[in-house]
Structures are given as C-alpha cells and as structure tokens.
Structure 1
C-alpha cells in the first residue's frame, strides 16, 4: 500500500526552492535583493540536477526500486519533478520579465533580457543601438580571445562540453545545415557587460554580444540560428565504503573526474528544430540525460554578480554587534568567567577568531583539537592552526574530505596544515564528520584546563557573514570531558561499532546516543501529556526526513503534545492531518540571511531542556555522519535562545506555513508585523548594550 504519511523529499525540496523564488516576487524585498534571490533559485536548481536527479535515475535502473514516499516508482517521480520544475521556471521567467526588469528600468537600469521565442531560427539580436558600438569594441578586445568554435562532426573526438558551461549551437548554411558548438566564456570573463548612454545604465549578457557578432566568427557563411545549450553532470563522488589506503589520494583522483561525470540534464533554448536537437544529442553522447527546454539564457545563478551596487536598492546594513568585552584581551579568561553564546551573523565572529588566534600564541596552551567540514578559501582559522603548530603546540585537525563541492579546497588546506606539522586526520570510511567542535587544553597553575567551542555551523569566516548560527564557547567540565572522548575516538578513524562503550551523558553524538536520546525526550513529553501535564516540543532544523523521528513526532501529536517545527528546506513531515499530525505546525523562514542553526527545546513540565547542534534529522545525519548536539545550561543563554525562537514563531513577514498539500502559505499578519531576522538583530543589539 502506498505510504502517504510523508512528503517526498525531492518534491519538498522543490517546494522550498519555490519559496526562495517567492521572495524575489515580494514587493517588500529590495530590488537588487530580488535579483539575488533569482540567482539563488537558479543555483539551487542546478545543484538539484547535479545531485538528486542522478540518484533517482540510477534508482530507476534497479529492478522493483521504490523511492518515493507516496509509493510511486522513480520514473513517476522524475515525471512529477519535471512537471513541477517546468511550472516553476515558467513563473520564474514571468517574474523576471514582467516584474523585475520594469522596476530596474524605473531606476535607470536597462537590463537587456530577451524572453525565449518559440523559434530559434532565424536568431534574434538583443544589443540596443545606444550601446552597440561599445559592445562591439568589447567583443573584439575582450571576448574574441576566448572563443573556440568546434564543428559538431569533431565533437566526439576533440570536444567535451564541460559541466554547467555555456555554449551556443550555431546553425550555418543554406540549404544544407552545418552545426558548430561555440563556447560562451563566462568562466573566463564576467557574464555581464555594462555601458552607459544618456544617464541610463545598460547591462547585457555577453551571450548577446557574441550573438551579435557571429558573422565575424563565421565569415562568408549564412548564420541561420544560434541556440544556447548547457549540460549538467552527475556530481556524486560515489565513494565506496570499503576504500583502503589514504582516502585523500582517492578523493583527489575522483575530483579530477567529477566534471566529466555522466550528463543528467541537457538544457536548451526553445525553438531548436527536432533534427538539430537530435544531432546534438547524438554527437554529444547524452542519450540518457533529461532533455529540458529552458530559456534563452542559462546559468542565471550568475545574477549573483549583477553589476549594480546601490544601498538604496539593497537590504539595510546590519553591522555585526560587538560582543561585550570582545575588544579586551584574553578570550579564555572571559570563558572562565562564564559561557559565551554568539549568534552569527548578527554578532561579530571575532571571538571565534580570537579563540583560535590566542590558542596559537598562548605559551600555556599545549594542545588543540578541531573538526573542519567546510574551510573558508582564505581561512584565518586554518592559518591560526598552522601558526599554533609552528609555535610548538600539538595540533590535531579532523578534515572532512567528503564535504560536497568543497573537497578540493579542504584537501588543499589539509596539505598546507600537514606540511606545517599539524596532525591531519582524514575521513572515516562510510562516515562523514559533520560536527562543528574544537577543544583547547591549557596548563593553568600546574593543572590542565579545557576550553571548548561547539557550534551549529561550520568554522568558516565567510559563511558566518550570512548563515544564522549559534556558537558556544565554554569551559564546562562535563562537556569538555566528553568532547575529549569524542576526539580520542575520531583519532582512531574507526566506525563506532562499540558506541555504547563511550559514556556520552551530556553531548548527543550521532552513531552513539543522539537518535535514542531524542526519542526518549519526545517520549517524556508524551508521558507528561498523558499525566495531564503541559507538554510541547519546538525544533528548528534545515532538513527533516528521517522517518523514525518523524513517526515519534506523529505519536507525540496524537497524544496531544504541541509540536512546533521551523524547517527551512526539505521537510517530509506532513502537518495538520487529523489522526496523524493535527498538533504539528511547520514554518519556513526565507529572508536576508540563510537560516542554518539547529535548536531543540523540550518543555519537560517547565524544566526545559535545550540543545543546539550540527544535526539535521536526515537519514544521512542520523545514520552516516558524526554529529554533535550540545545542551545549554546557562540560564541567561537559554533565555536568549528562547527569545530568538519566540520571534521566529511570531514572524508574519518572511515566514510561511507549510500545509498538508506542500504549499507555502503566507502567515496571516496580525496587528503587529514581525520580521524575525530584523527583530532578532534589534534584540541582540539591545541585549549587548545592557
């Protein structure tokens, strides 16, 4: 029987991405931010086709494979996905052409974006007469150096279309047709060209400048059409659990092959004649890819580099709040006085940098242990660890080499740290280490004192500027002792087959006690409500998929426990179904910052237990990763988290409710409008000034 108790994870993700697009449609969203949300939507969709669609296609080749929650096979799901993506992209084009472009024009910005016609031949041009001369000059002095036309007959032997790279299929000749593949060099130069005329700013895709000069590229040959195309390739590394030897070498070899992965999507401009389309598919060897009709322009994620900066058309600046006393020396002295909880990006990330910088130079610090999942490209934290090692500290860094799309960067940093004497521990086979923790051992008055960092987000200075996360700096003895046990385990690079032998009582660690502990916390709420006591659960996650935990939430709902979920992206839990989930409400928040922190609050008859951590409730987090969630014991810090959650559950501007049909339903505004991110910034600003 079909199981209709859960949303399909992929359709749920598409629902989330549609919510991202909706933020670009909101009139209250500043104009340039709307352009950016269109970029985010496009980038997300490209990743979806690189990661999820290949998995579903592979599943379809497995006999009797069933993937969807609703019971449909993978082929049926792929059809649903295609239909939903087509619907969304139609809305995307309408939103851009009918809404965003006219408003840009009102601001004196002429963004030349021509909707795709239903015929690609003859091809149309989009370079306005006002800037045609300047565009031609740019073509001859800049673009021409990067153009490399290849005849389609040579494609099989001498041409391999790169992943996510942009090309034209140029059709020449009369009456016979000749086809060339011509690159659009957006990986070498900016995707946009700008010029001014009579006080107006013109912005063009380089695609259109190249179209306008095809006669120069193919002299004496009649150009019949120029159709934009793009191939998306499988991004999964497919690392076998049984890898032996140094996994760094294995991954380095895999990375070299990833962009040459199997084609999963062939995106083309509308209007390509069927015969020409088939010739392209045959010559490029992409028969198993999804053939998808897109627009005239691809890779609209490039809108992230839209060449207009105007503070009046962007979100108001929220300067990071300086933590009280963070200009004073001695971060470890401040931790010794009491736990510190930072809320990035509302607050300055400097105390985190100080934590590592001071550990690197403090002569009393003897040992440093860190897990690193996504390392910033210019990481000051990694540089501090290099300095610490060269300053005679014993530094151990667990570097996750399977962090998707960051493998090469992580590998490069791992090599640099290793050369500096840092002990580098690579990935555990079959597991990713997704925990965000650090431990510093310092000798104070003859005894070893531990200081720790536990966070919901990566130790990454770049993402800390726009991911909302929570970072605890603490010297709590119980937490630090258990954190040390975790690092001892990680150093062995073994699977946790004897997990029960590590006595985690305070930390919740995936593969050891995390799932069981969460289940028992939910069970306690169920027991309390059956005793007539108040019971509630509030959980904030990025993704919610794992069915054992969702079923336990359903059980809690049926018992009468009030369950409030804030789930940014994938959500397989269905809210509001009588007899299943009528006491569950689910919100999504999409705004200036990316919601990223994970928070878990259990009422416990008024004696709340509050945890923060790295773990989403996804199959991968629960069963195939090392995750760490940690309790908040300090009462003042608990109040801060509870107030942040209160503001998020009161949001009626940037929040939507997820309904039983997987729709993003606007929250009915009350007398007072609450935009939670703005309210949180005001709250923290006031709190730190007290």
Structure 2
C-alpha cells in the first residue's frame, strides 16, 4: 500500500513525545509531577537522538546516493520536518519551564537559580560545596595543547570555557560537569527560602579557582549524543555475553549524532570545537542554558501537596487463603493489574516455586530484570534448593544489557541454566512455567504477562498478568521453552502447532489476520462487527492494511495507541470507521489488549506484542487468550473506562495532531476510575 496511507513512524513518535510535553504544561497536574514530565520528555528525546536519528540520517544518505530521486527528496523532507518539530517542542519546553514552573516554585518558597547570578546569600555555602565536593572531579582540557587526546562521552555534560591567558590571546578549555559522580542539583536554605542550584552553575561561579591567572571571557555548556546501536554480527558463534560486554564499552564512543550547545558561543569558537572533536557529521543544535534536563527527575524537593495523591497498591488475595498460590491457580485463573494492584503475587509465585518441595522445574523469560531483583534472587535460591531452573535472559534489551549480563552470570554461578536467544532474534515474551510433581502426578502452573517481570517498573507501568493452570496452554508454553532452549531461529512456522497461545515467528500475525478477516466477513453479512485494540506502538503495514480493509467493510475499530501510530484514522474511503486515542497520565500505559467481537462470542487476547516490524518479524512474542468469563468481563470493564476517557485521553487525527476530546457531560479519568473500580471490587 502507498506510503501516503501511513504516518511516518518517527514523526508519530515525536507526536507522542509532544503529548508528554503538554502534560508538563497541564496546570491541573501537581508541580513536581509537571517537572517529572519535563524530565521524561528530555530523556525520551535523548533516546531518539541515540536510536532513531542515526537510522534517519543513514537512510537519507542512502537515498541521496541512489537513483531514486523521489525517495531521496522524501527522506530529506522527513529529516527537515523532524528538526522543525523538535525545535518547536524545545521552545515549548523552555516556555513551560521558565514562565510556568519557575514562578510556581517561587510561590512555594522554592527558588531554582536558573540562568542568573548566584544569590549573595548562598554564595559562601555554594563555594564551600565547590571546594570540598566538586573540585575533586574536575578535569580541564586545553584544546590548544597539541597531542591532547580528549573524547567527549555520550550525553555527558561539559563546559566550553573561553579564557584570555597571560599571553593575551584566547584559549578554549573544556571542563567536565561531573553529574555522574555528584547530584545535578544542590539545595541550600537561606532567607527563609529553599534555593536549588545546578551543578553547572556551581562550577561556573567558581571558575576563578580553576583559572587563577586568566580572564574568563565566556563559559557555555554543551553535550554530545552518540549512536547507541551495538555492532554484533547475526551469525556470531562465540561467547555472546562477552561480545556484548565488549560492545557496551564502546557504546558511549559511537558516532556523534548531535552537538547540543548553549546559545552565545561565537561562530569561530563553535567551529573550532566541532573540528577539534570531529563533529562535522553531527547535527549542531542551539539549545538552552542547561542540558540533560532528564535530571529534573531527581529534583531535590518533596513538599506536601506538590505531587500526586498516593494510590496505595491494592492487595490481592489468592483464593480463600487456605491454599498455596499454586493450588489456588490450579482451581481458578487469577488476573493481576499492577501498579493498581500489588505486585506481591508475582513475587510470591517465584518465592513459592523456590522452596515448594513439590516443584521440580522452573522456566522463565527475562527481558528487563530489576537491578536488585527479588525474582532473580528467588531463581538463585530455587537452583540451590535443587530445582531445575532454566532462564532465558535477553542480552539485547537496549540499555539494559549490562544489568541483564550481571544477573545472568549470578544465576549461572548458582546452577541456573542460562539460555541466550539467537542473536538476530530477541525474545520479548513475558512468560514463566512451574512444573510440580506430587503423588506421581505432574501438574503445571503458568504466568503470562503484558510487561516485564520487573518489580521496579511494576510500580509505574500499567500491565496485566495472568496466572493460569490451563493444561493445553501450559503444554504449548513448555514446547516454546524447549524450542528456545535450542537457540535456533524460528525457521519453519509449522514446527510447533500452537492452538491457544499466539507466538510471533509461528502463528501470531496469521491468527490476528484471520480474526480481522472474520470480523470483515461478519460485517459484510450484516452482522455486528467490531475490533478494539490497545497497544504501545502500531507500525506494521500488513496488519494496518488489514484494519483499513476491515474499516472499508464497515467494521467498527477503536484503537488506543500510546506512542507510535502509523495508521491514519478517519480518512474517507480508507479508515472512516477507525478511531485512535492516546492516554498519557501518572502511569505509563503498557498493556497490550486485543478484543474481537466475533458475532457476540467475544474473544480477548493480551500479551507482549505490539504491532511493530520488530515485534512481528524479529522477536519471539507471546499473546494469550483469556478464557475465564469473570476475568474477561473485568478486562472489558477496564478497557471501556479507557475508551470513555475524556480527561487525559486525546484523539489522534488524520494529520497526526493530538486533539483534546470534548469535555461535555461526565469527565472520565481512566486511571483514577480503574483504581477506584478495582478497589471497590476488592472490597
């Protein structure tokens, strides 16, 4: 299908990050939460420059060198539009921060020193902090000294200082801002106020202690963003963990994609910096006075009434309390909804498996494991307690590689069988299987989730976790674990016959297409036909095209897509029966839910798979059916609250705009409504 029928994935992602930025500008959000949204926006943009910009720039160069002039012009236009959008968003960021956030902080008696002289009342204390804590980490680099080898690392902060030395000419000196070693902000109380000072300004205000015999002509902050891609061959056969560890040491020294600098640097000095640091191929971007504002996430203030009201996680019981968790699961499926509900049941699942004498085998996939994972500790204990424990650790989970490798080594040393996926195939499935042997009978219980088995992210990612004793589904999970243990590519989709779970590389795309086709058939027969899907990202064109076909047949399609959405909704003759909503609120929407009306015999699936090219074609994903009618009804209730959301949700229109929804009638804030509903149901 023509590219005109699809949004560009990078422009769509920028639209999502723009929605995050607007939440920072939402006057109804508590001020410290608004600051966190600024931090999230900044962190997201840094990742965009590390991950997506290298790909966009490479594609543009490929098309420029090729014969397809039209494709080359299209890629150049996309790159220009990306730059325009980011510049516009950065201006909005600055306006929110300076004209809204800073005045609101001052009203609360909090003075963030921002691009202004250091107040006299705190100068002495700030200077003392500089001499006793900061100075030890400073490493000035004079660019004029020949033979100096200096390589600015990825997203580290630096100051370009212009000094006039004793010989009367200007020199350029780079000074590191040691925000890896020290907090980015320093809090001081004086004049009945709470002052907060950037580490950057502490250094700037004490430059005379570094350059005692020089005149300081200017000082400007900058940072460099580098390509984050790891270079590991698809057919690499050696020690994969060691190979990725070697690559991680090089990641911060990758190709520079962006030089972001404070305004005011003379053109000649900027060019000297670019030449000295070999940044000729990077985007040179004039930013604000401060960079890495993702550090706002650690803003050192926590006053009452400046954050969201607390929603204590709802504790969920397993059965009547007289049974073990596994016995309760064997009797009836359970469904958990973190962070609204406590993650304790997941921890209990692995803890019981580690010590239950009836448990003989444990299988689990780990994509992003918490740094101090209770699940990891339970698996170590299980192995030491004589259980057969097999763990697939995904070493290629971007930005979590080092932590995953650390845990893989720890578990392996304890006797856990560690499996790494085939290099060209990530395992993104979130599943666990426990086999129990009692009185010569083997039974299984399983855990299937939409999100990682990570108790840290479970505090702010909305996910759904199914505990089940369904024999056929668990047998299929066991077959998948056996397959993964051989570290082979999927190859033949008919290799394993999955009838219940949907597995990418085997039957996932095919089954989703079949279920959409069934709705098309029903619509053409005059029957009610509808599809409701919630996911993080929607990009894959085969599935999008099938949704277009369903819309043209009259199927009513409601989508909730948090981030990338390449489908254009509401286009006459193409997608007029498709609506798309986006929800950004206190929690990160992360669950994937797929509902097919099926002529009133509703089918509901959940799982790990977004409809992205990578998920469909280059990963092992698992989506699973919900068979228990009580659980299904509850999920449909929760989903309906999100479809009804007109407080935090926006509609994505056919021009990729985030359009606020009408506030007529009752205002529905779905996350709050879901929490209240689950609390009421729990009693």
Q: Which residue of 1 aligns with 2:108?
A: 107
Note if contact 1:436-1:454 (Cα within 8 Å) is conserved in structure 2. Answer: yes
1:414-429 matches, cutoff 5 A: 414-429=408-423
Range moving further from structure 2, 198-207 or 570-579? 198-207
1:266 maps to what in 2?
A: 259
Query: 1:312: which partner in 2?
Result: 305
Q: d(CA) in 2 for partners of 1:67 and 1:598? A: 38
| Pick aligned residue for 1:596 from 564, 570, 590 | 590
Q: Which residue of 1 aligns with 2:174?
A: 181
Distance change >3 Å, CA 524–CA 360, structure 1 → 2? same
Distance 1:159 1:501 in 2: 53
**Could you tell me which of 331, 335, 338 is aligned with 1:337?**
331
Answer yes or no: is 1:149 the counterpart of 2:140. yes
Q: Gaps spanning 5+ residues in structure 1: where?
A: 115-124
Map 1:221-232 → 2, pairs under 5 A: 221-232=214-225
Match of 2:436 among 433, 442, 456: 442
1:17 aligns with 2:17: yes
1:445 offset after TM fit, Å? Answer: 2.5
1:214 paired to 2:215: no
State the shift of 1:162 in Å: 1.1
* 1:575/1:135 CA distance change after superposition, 3 Å: same
Aligned match of 1:251: 244
Q: Secondary structure at the match of 2:599?
A: helix
Counterpart residue number, 1:89? 90
The equivalent of 1:279 in structure 2 is 272
Task: Measure how far apart 1:476 and its partner are.
Answer: 0.3
Residues 535 and 605, structure 1, Cα contact 8 Å, conserved in 2: yes
Q: Which residue of 2 aligns with 1:117?
A: none
The alpha-carbon deviation at position 155 of structure 1 amounts to 8.2
1:397–1:422: 8 Å Cα contact kept in structure 2? yes
Q: 2:317 aligns with which of 321, 324, 328?
A: 324
The answer (yes or no) to whether the contact 2:50–2:228 under 8 Å persists in 1 is yes
CA contact (8 A) 2:231 2:247 kept: no
**1:300: which partner in 2?**
293
Counterparts of 1:270 and 1:126 in 2: how far apart (Å)? 17
Q: Give the Cα separation in 2 of the matches to 1:39 and 1:528.
A: 47
Distance in structure 2 (CA, Å) of the matches to 1:39 and 1:656? 21
Q: State whether residues 335 and 473 of structure 1, in contact with CA within 8 Å, keep that contact through their aligned partners in structure 2.
A: yes
CA distance in 1 between partners of 2:596 and 2:474 (Å)? 23
Alpha-carbon distance in 1 for matches of 2:149, 2:191: 46
The aligned residue for residue 40 of structure 2 is: 40
Q: Secondary structure at the match of 2:510?
A: helix
Distance 1:328 1:168, change over 3 A: farther
Q: 1:541 aligns with which of 535, 539, 547?
A: 535
Aligned match for 1:509, one of 503, 527, 547: 503
- Equivalent residue, structure 1, for 2:57: 57
- Structure 2 unaligned blocks of 5 or more: none
1:153·1:283 contact (CA, 8 Å) conserved in 2? no
Partner of 1:121: none
Q: What secondary structure, in the 3-state scheme, does the structure 1 residue paired with 2:464 have?
A: strand
**Count of aligned positions:** 679
Distance in 1 (alpha carbons) for counterparts of 2:441 and 2:352: 19
What is the rounded CA distance, in whole Å, between the counterparts of 1:94 and 1:515 in structure 2? 44
- Between stretches 553-562 and 169-178, larger displacement belongs to 169-178
Residue in structure 2 matching 1:192, options 142, 163, 185: 185
User: How far off is 1:141 after superposition?
Assistant: 1.1
- Given that 1:233 and 1:262 are in contact with CA atoms closer than 8 Å, whether structure 2 keeps it comes out as yes
Per-residue Cα deviation, 1:564-585 (whole angstroms, up to 9, x for no partner): 0000000100111001111110
SS at match of 2:284: strand
Q: Deviations over 1:630-672 (max 9, x none)?
A: 0000001001110111000111111000011111011111221
Taking the aligned partners of 2:52 and 2:350, their CA distance within structure 1 comes to 37
For normalisation by structure 1, the TM-score amounts to 0.96
- Equivalent residues of 1:68, 1:74 under 8 A apart: no
What is the rounded CA distance, in whole Å, between the counterparts of 1:68 and 1:423 in structure 2?
53
Distance 1:2 1:646, change over 3 A: closer
TM-score by length of 2: 0.97
Identify the match of residue 567 of structure 2 among 568, 573, 576: 573
Describe the superposition over 1:420-455 as per-residue Cα deviations: whole angstroms up to 9, x where unpaired.
110000121210000000000001221100100000
Deviations 1:192-240 (A, max 9, x none): 0111113210111011111111111101200000010100011011332
Work out whether residues 2 and 70 of structure 1, in 8 Å CA contact, stay in contact via their aligned partners in 2. Answer: no
Q: RMSD of aligned C-alpha atoms?
A: 1.7
Q: Is the 8 A contact 1:68 1:77 kept in 2?
A: no
Structure 1 position 328, deviation (Å): 6.0
Q: 1:465 to 1:140 in 2, by over 3 A?
A: same
Aligned position for 1:159:
150
Q: Is the counterpart of residue 520 in structure 1 residue 503 in structure 2?
A: no
Q: 1:372 to 1:683 in 2, by over 3 A?
A: same
1:7/1:70 contact within 8 Å kept: no
Partner SS, residue 168 of structure 1: strand
Structure 1: distance between partners of 2:206 and 2:597: 67
